[in-house]
């Protein structure tokens, strides 16, 4: 059985290589979500909706890349 | 976890309790056709598959297979039961009710859903299932071995998540608003950049808001300017204000708006809103459905009802989506156009209702535009935002455009100062809408970035699945190749293995080289025997991946279409790759059973033979012997000649294998007669050599010729010549003669087995390469001294 943490890290790295950009705060959310929940089983419709809202909120709160401190 | 015993009671072919006592060992079970050996395999399948047996899944077996699982002649009050005892002394007990429902107790949870039937049991009818299944079936069969199910779930969750983000962020609506704002900007500023618009605003601010501190924020400047311009316009004379209102009404782009709605309506080309909604609601689950589809075969498209091939269906769904996306885009454009038309009509109504225009209204109300004004008054402008028919458009065109023209004509003489104020007011409005759209554009960008991120993650997860699938499949393929090479050494079919087709997701197929040519499927050329051999290799390669779990493997009559040469290699294959596993081989092939007894006898293997089946009330019965002479005995009553003939056939095989093991040198015969020697030929030489080579330990610890064995062998040889041959060629054998012949043959074969340790004479070397003996050394044979 492959190491779950490895594949999540690999998937995120690949997504970044594909040019998927997002503020760090959202990356953190997505990564936590992947590690914590996605691999455990199919999320229910409500849970997916809640997760989507959470990500949209985080995205809105996070500074854009241009605004992030260098 | 090895199995100690499988017990059956009125289950399938069983009557009174009967048990396959494996004692945690591997076992070869012999049974003539219909002797009931598969009932034990059925019991395993029943437990692993939650009360279902796949070969009984047909219309006659009943909803819960209640017409087929219990013995049909079960007496009233008897129960249908099965039990599986494991070597750690845990067990599963199942009782099956009349209606087919069942109740299980014991360690059910550690077996059901954990052991995969497809990697535990291989039956004759299932050997080529994997080869003949679709690419999707193969993928499903292998998926549990790939260990990638959690990743599959994660990928699906990500796909759904991206869709939720699109809908919850209101992405499409935001895009529509942006599109409206862009049109306004283009109308007011053409191709001016943000900087140039800001400079223009700055100029206007200096002109109209000199008393106010210039704010950096563009929107605040717009607000200041709008207020200042409103104040100035309010300070104009009533006449000037009238001109401005009329000019505002006269400048309305109503005609262009009507045309835009018409154009977009034509573009929709009859694709009505409900149809889009319906198609999308069907297509969305369809998109999820296509992931579950097999790689081959046909399927009915739930969106359009056409019957299409699965690969084309995927393409079809993709195209349908593309088409609907285009329609949705046009639909959105139409919505924007209708929204703009609604705003324009509202603006017209608002302006023409203004108090400044009372006298103008009174004037036209008495003239030919009376109907037009009445039409405007009665029009529900807001309703146009959601529904706008051609009749509405025609009404707007016929009744409202004349009003606009009249207002335009009446405003021609507006003074330049007032005109300037109004133009500046429009610039400020357009600038305000432009800068408000900047915030919405940020929201759109964020939502799109988030969707792109989640989609990229989904794709990366699917890539990872593919990568890991390849690695596991490559390992399984290596095993298949090695096993195939054992079964088919030096043959022209090579490089047999699994692969992931590049053109399909969730699909696996088999390829091989046939006389040097690469083939995409073994079904193109392989004979039935080869397909069976390949099916066996694939099953064993998959079962091997679970070797660490030490689960038993059941092979039920799987070599039925393999010839003797290929069949003979299975032992080597099992010993090499399944040395530590519990294997249960069930066969109706008496010769193979005898061979296996000779090859695997001793060690971890046990052998049992079933008696021929008599009737369901008697059920499954075990022979007390490991040899198959009971098959012959079963015929004594009705066909003594056949019984005698069977005994001879058993001796043909048993003695050939013994002679091979004891390295008996037989005279060379011409051509294939070497392969067709019969029991008498072997016995003659074994007895002759045995008088010098077959020894038994005496009470004094010395070795002497095993006279009892020689006598038994001689006796069997004598009876075989006189009675068995008669049984083969005529029907002239009496029951007592056949009975005596069978007993004599059995005794002769038994003489090669030690009465003390129970092992055969070829079990071990005895003090050097010259001798072979049983385990304890009670009996021995000296090689090559005949």
> Average of pLDDT values for B577-588?
90
Parallel, antiparallel, or unpaired for β B771-773 and B307-309? unpaired
Chain A CB within 8 Å of residue B443 CB: yes
Residue A27 located in a structural domain: yes
Residue A66, pLDDT score? 46
Q: What is the DSSP string of B264-299?
A: HHHHHTT--HHHHHHHHHHHHHHHHHHHHS-SSSEE
Please tell me the distance from the alpha carbon of residue B294 to that of residue A43, in angstroms, as a whole number.
24
The DSSP 8-state label assigned to residue B213 in this structure reads P
Predicted confidence band of residue A1 (pLDDT cuts 50, 70, 90):
very low
**A28/A12 Cα distance (integer angstroms):** 10
Q: In this structure, what token pair is assigned to residue B105?
A: 């107790």
Please check whether residue A66 lies inside any domain of the structure: no
Of the candidates B525, B515, B514, B480, which has an alpha carbon nearest to the alpha carbon of residue B499?
Answer: B480
Residues of the domain holding A16: 4-61
Structure tokens at B62: 């009943």
Q: Kindly indicate the confidence band of residue B307, based on its pLDDT and cuts at 50, 70 and 90.
A: low
Residue B32 and residue B23 in contact, taking contact as beta carbons nearer than 8 Å: no
* Residue A62 to residue A2: CA distance in whole angstroms: 33
A32 touches chain B (CB under 8 A): no
For chain A, the domain total comes to 1
Q: Whole-number mean pLDDT of chain B?
A: 84
Task: State both tokens at B11.
Answer: 């289950």
What pLDDT score does B709 carry? 94
Long-range contacts of B602-607, Cβ-Cβ distance < 8 Å, separation of 24 or more: B602/B759, B602/B760, B602/B763, B602/B775, B604/B25, B604/B26, B605/B25, B605/B26, B605/B27, B605/B28, B606/B22, B606/B23, B606/B25, B606/B26, B606/B27, B606/B28, B607/B27, B607/B28, B607/B29, B607/B30
Q: Which residue has the higher pLDDT, B733 or B300?
A: B733
Asked whether residue B667 carries a pLDDT value surpassing 80, the answer given is: no
Q: Is the pLDDT of residue B148 over 50?
A: yes
> Is residue B133's pLDDT more than 70?
yes
Q: Which tokens belong to B598? A: 């000779």
Domains of chain B as residue ranges with CATH: 1-116+548-626 (3.40.50.300), 168-269+336-452 (no CATH), 641-782 (no CATH)
- Report if residue A69 sits inside a domain: no
In a domain, A30, yes or no: yes
**Residue with the larger pLDDT of the pair B746 and B150:** B746
B-chain CB neighbours of A30 within 8 Å are 453-454, 457
Cβ-defined contact of B464 to A14 (cutoff 8 Å):
yes
Give the per-residue pLDDT at A38. Answer: 62
Residues 126-165 of chain B whose Cβ lies under 8 A from any Cβ of chain A: 147-148, 150-151, 153-154, 156-158, 160-161, 164-165
Chain A residue nearest residue B150, CA to CA: A39
The answer to the question of residue A31 being in a domain is yes
Q: Say whether residue A29 is in contact with chain B using an 8 A CB cutoff.
A: no
Which of B213, B209, B250 minimizes the C-alpha distance to B230?
B209
Query: What is residue A62's predicted lDDT score, i.e. its pLDDT?
Result: 67
Span B423-435, average pLDDT: 88
Q: What is the DSSP string of B113-146?
A: TTS-GGGTEEEGGGTTHHHHS-HHHHHHHHHHHH
Nearest to B457 among A11, A43, A49 (CB): A11
Q: CB B446 to CB A10 under 8 A?
A: no
**Which of A20, A30, A48 faces B164 most closely, judged by CB atoms?**
A48
Instruction: Using the predicted structure, report yes or no on whether residue B288 has a pLDDT greater than 70.
Output: no
C-alpha distance from B177 to closest chain A C-alpha (Å) = 19
Residue A70 lies in a domain: no
> Does A12 touch chain B if contact means CB atoms closer than 8 Å?
yes
Pairing mode, strands B509-514 and B553-556: unpaired
pLDDT digits (tens, 9 = 90+) for B161-189: 888 888 888 888 888 888 888 888 888 88
pLDDT greater than 70 at residue B786:
no
ipTM of the complex as predicted = 0.79
Q: Average pLDDT in the B196-225 region?
A: 85
Rounded mean pLDDT, B126-148:
82
Contacts of B196 (CB under 8 A, 6+ apart): B189
Dihedral angle sign, alpha carbons of residues B44, B49, B51, B52: negative
Q: Does B305 touch chain A (CB under 8 A)?
A: no
Q: Which member of B449, B455, B460 has the closest CB to residue A14?
A: B460
| The pLDDT of residue B452 is above 80 | yes
B446 and A60 in contact by Cβ < 8 A?
yes
CA-based nearest distance B218→chain A, Å: 19
Going across the sheet that includes B493-499, the strands are B493-499, B509-514, B517-519
Instruction: Write out pLDDT tens, residues B229-282.
Output: 888 888 887 778 878 888 887 888 888 888 888 777 766 655 555 566 666 666
Phi, psi at residue B681, to the nearest 5°? -55, -45
Residue A10 lies in a domain: yes
pLDDT at B557 over 50: yes
Predicted confidence at residue A69, as pLDDT, reads 40
What does the pLDDT look like over B46-93, one tens digit per residue?
A: 999 888 998 898 888 888 899 999 998 999 889 999 999 999 999 999
- In-domain check, residue A68: no
Contacts with B168 from chain A: Cβ below 8 Å? 49, 52-53, 56
Instruction: Tell me what pLDDT residue A37 has.
Output: 62
CB atoms within 10 A of CB B618: 12
Cα–Cα dist B531/B566, whole Å: 12
pLDDT at B683 over 60: yes
B256, two tokens:
């262009």
Of the candidates B164, B442, B450, which has its C-beta nearest A49's C-beta?
A: B164
Q: For residue B732, what pLDDT is reported?
A: 76
């Amino acid at each position: 059985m492959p190491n779950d943490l490895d594949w999540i890290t690999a998937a995120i790295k690949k997504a970044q290589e594909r040019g998927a950009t997002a503020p760090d705060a959202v990356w953190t959310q997505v990564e936590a979500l992947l590690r914590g929940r996605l691999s455990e089983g199919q999320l229910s419709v409500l849970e997916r909706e809640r997760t989507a809202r959470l990500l949209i909120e985080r995205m809105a709160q996070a500074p854009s890349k241009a605004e992030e401190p260098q | 976890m090895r199995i100690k015993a499988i017990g059956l009671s009125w289950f399938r072919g069983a009557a009174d309790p009967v048990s396959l006592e494996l004692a945690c060992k591997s076992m070869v079970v012999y049974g003539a056709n219909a002797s009931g050996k598969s009932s034990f395999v059925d019991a395993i399948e029943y437990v692993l598959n939650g009360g279902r047996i796949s070969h009984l899944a047909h219309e006659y077996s009943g909803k819960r297979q209640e017409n087929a699982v219990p013995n049909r002649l079960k007496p009233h009050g008897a129960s249908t039961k099965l039990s599986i005892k494991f070597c750690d002394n845990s067990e599963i007990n199942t009782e099956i009710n009349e209606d087919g429902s069942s109740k299980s107790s014991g360690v059910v949870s550690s077996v059901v859903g954990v052991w995969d039937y497809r990697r535990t049991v291989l039956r004759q009818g299932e050997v080529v299932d994997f080869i003949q299944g679709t690419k999707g079936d193969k993928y499903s069969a292998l998926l549990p071995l790939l260990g990638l199910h959690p990743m599959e779930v994660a990928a699906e969750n990500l796909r759904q998540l991206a869709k939720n983000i699109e809908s919850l962020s209101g992405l499409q609506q935001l895009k529509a608003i942006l599109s409206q704002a862009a049109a306004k900007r283009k109308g007011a500023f053409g191709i001016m950049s943000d900087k140039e618009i800001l400079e223009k605003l700055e100029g206007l601010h200096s002109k109209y808001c000199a008393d106010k501190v210039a704010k950096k924020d563009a929107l605040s400047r717009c607000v200041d300017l709008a207020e200042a311009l409103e104040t100035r316009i309010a300070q104009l004379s009533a006449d000037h204000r009238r001109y401005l209102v009329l000019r505002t009404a006269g400048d309305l782009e109503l005609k262009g708006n009507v045309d835009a709605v018409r154009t977009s309506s034509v573009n929709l080309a009859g694709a009505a809103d409900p149809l889009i909604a319906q198609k999308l609601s069907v297509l969305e689950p369809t998109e999820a459905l296509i992931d579950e589809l097999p790689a081959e075969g046909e399927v009915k498209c739930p969106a359009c009802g056409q019957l299409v091939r699965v690969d084309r269906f995927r393409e079809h769904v993709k195209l349908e989506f593309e088409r609907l996306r285009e329609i949705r885009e046009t639909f959105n454009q139409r919505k924007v156009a209708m929204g703009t038309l609604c705003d324009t009509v509202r603006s017209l109504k608002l302006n023409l209702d203004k108090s400044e225009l009372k006298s103008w209204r009174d004037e036209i109300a008495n003239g030919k535009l009376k109907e037009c004004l009445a039409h405007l008054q009665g029009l529900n402008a807001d309703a146009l935002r959601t529904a706008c028919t051609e009749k509405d458009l025609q009404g707007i065109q016929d009744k409202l455009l004349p009003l606009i023209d009249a207002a335009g004509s009446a405003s021609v003489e507006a003074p330049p100062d007032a005109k300037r104020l109004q133009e500046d007011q429009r610039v400020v409005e357009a600038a305000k809408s432009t800068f408000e759209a900047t915030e919405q554009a940020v929201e759109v960008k964020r939502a799109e970035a988030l969707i792109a991120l989640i989609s990229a993650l989904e794709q990366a997860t699917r890539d990872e699945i593919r990568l890991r699938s390849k690695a596991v499949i490559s390992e399984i393929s290596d095993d298949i190749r090695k096993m195939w090479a054992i079964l088919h050494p030096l043959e022209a079919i090579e490089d047999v293995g699994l692969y992931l087709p590049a053109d399909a997701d969730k699909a696996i197929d088999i390829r091989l080289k046939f006389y040097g040519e690469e083939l995409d499927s073994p079904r193109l050329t392989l004979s039935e025997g080869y397909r069976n051999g390949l099916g066996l290799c694939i099953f064993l390669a998959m079962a091997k991946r679970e070797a660490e779990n030490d689960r038993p493997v059941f092979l039920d009559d799987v070599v039925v279409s393999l010839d003797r040469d290929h069949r003979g290699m299975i032992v080597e294959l099992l010993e090499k790759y399944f040395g530590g596993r519990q294997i249960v081989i069930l066969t109706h092939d008496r010769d193979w059973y005898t061979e296996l007894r000779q090859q695997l006898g001793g060690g971890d293997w046990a052998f049992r033979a079933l008696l021929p089946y008599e009737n369901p009330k008697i059920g499954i019965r075990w022979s007390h012997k490991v040899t198959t002479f009971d098959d012959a005995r079963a015929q004594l009553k009705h066909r003594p000649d056949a019984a005698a003939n069977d005994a001879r056939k058993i001796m043909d095989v048993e003695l050939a294998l013994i002679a091979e093991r004891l390295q008996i040198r037989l005279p060379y015969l011409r051509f294939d007669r070497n392969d067709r020697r019969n029991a008498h030929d072997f016995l003659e030489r074994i007895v002759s050599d045995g008088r010098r080579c077959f020894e038994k330990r005496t009470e004094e610890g010395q070795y002497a010729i095993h006279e009892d064995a020689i006598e038994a062998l001689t006796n069997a040889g004598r009876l075989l010549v006189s009675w068995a041959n008669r049984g083969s060629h005529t029907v002239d054998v009496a029951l007592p003669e056949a009975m005596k012949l069978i007993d004599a043959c059995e005794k002769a074969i038994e003489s090669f087995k030690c009465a003390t340790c129970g092992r055969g004479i070829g079990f071990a070397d005895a003090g050097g390469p010259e001798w072979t003996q049983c385990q304890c050394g009670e009996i021995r044979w000296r090689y090559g001294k005949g």
